[in-house]
Amino acid sequence: MADKKNSAEEKKDIGLYEKLAERSRAFIKEAEEQTVKAVGIAIDKAKEEMVAAGDFSHEHGERLKTFLQRDLFLSLRDVSKAEDVAKEVLEPHRVLAGIQGLMASTLETVGEKLEDWAAKLEKDLNFKTGEITAPGTLSCKKCQKKIKMHKMGHIPPCPECCGTEFHKGY
Ligand SMILES: [Zn+2]
């Protein structure tokens, strides 16, 4: 008798747990959309402030903004990949199933947002000689030679073939 009661209570608890996870998912999705918007607004605000202060012209600011967005996009994509790995490691723990579902849907939303962003930035992901970028590894599109950028700076021409177009490693 007691066992039956326990299992009914347990079932109810699992149901409530799932409802809580489901509702949380909806709110997390909302929060993420706000975050992506907020990042865009923040970069614009910083840029406008610097234009007003005379740090650079509107056009120059727009150009640097594009480079910053591109680097941010790549670092966000790295983070979501790292979380994917964490999810795989957690897989055997049955107890975490609900949390995993939550993480998976969170990653999905972030992933979708990043893809939207990536589509917009696709041509900007083509790194060119003379552009500014954060540290990372660039690969020449012509000869595949890798160039390591140890600090923020202008992209040099390819030391191997003088190529001027690169992919960035991630
Ligand atoms: Zn090259």
Task: Give pLDDT tens digits for 73-109.
Answer: 777 666 666 656 555 555 544 445 555 555 555 666 6
**Sign of the torsion formed by the C-alpha atoms of 44, 50, 53 and 59:** negative
From the CA of 122, how far away is ligand 1's center (Å)?
21
Report the distance separating Cα 79 and Cα 99, nearest Å: 18
The DSSP H or E segment spanning 162 is none
pLDDT mean over 53-73: 87
Same domain, 73 and 109: yes
Same domain, 38 and 15: yes
Name the β-bridge partners of 165: 128
Same domain, 145 and 81: no
Q: What type of residue is 113?
A: K
From the CA of 81, how far away is ligand 1's center (Å)?
28
Q: Rounded to two decimals, what is the model's pTM?
A: 0.54
Looking at residue 126, what DSSP letter applies? S
Domain extent, residue 159, equals 132-168
Same domain, 44 and 108: yes
From the CA of 104, how far away is ligand 1's center (Å)?
39
From the CA of 138, how far away is ligand 1's center (Å)?
10
Same domain, 82 and 164: no
From the CA of 157, how far away is ligand 1's center (Å)?
8
Cα-based distances in Å from 57 to 49, 129, 133: 11, 21, 19
When the pLDDT of each residue in the chain is averaged and rounded to a whole number, the result is 77
Number of domains, the chain: 2
Same domain, 44 and 75: yes
Query: Can you read off the two tokens belonging to residue 110?
Result: 């972030």
Same domain, 56 and 102: yes
Same domain, 32 and 50: yes
pLDDT mean over 32-48: 85
Task: Give pLDDT tens digits for 110-128.
Answer: 666 666 665 665 555 789 9
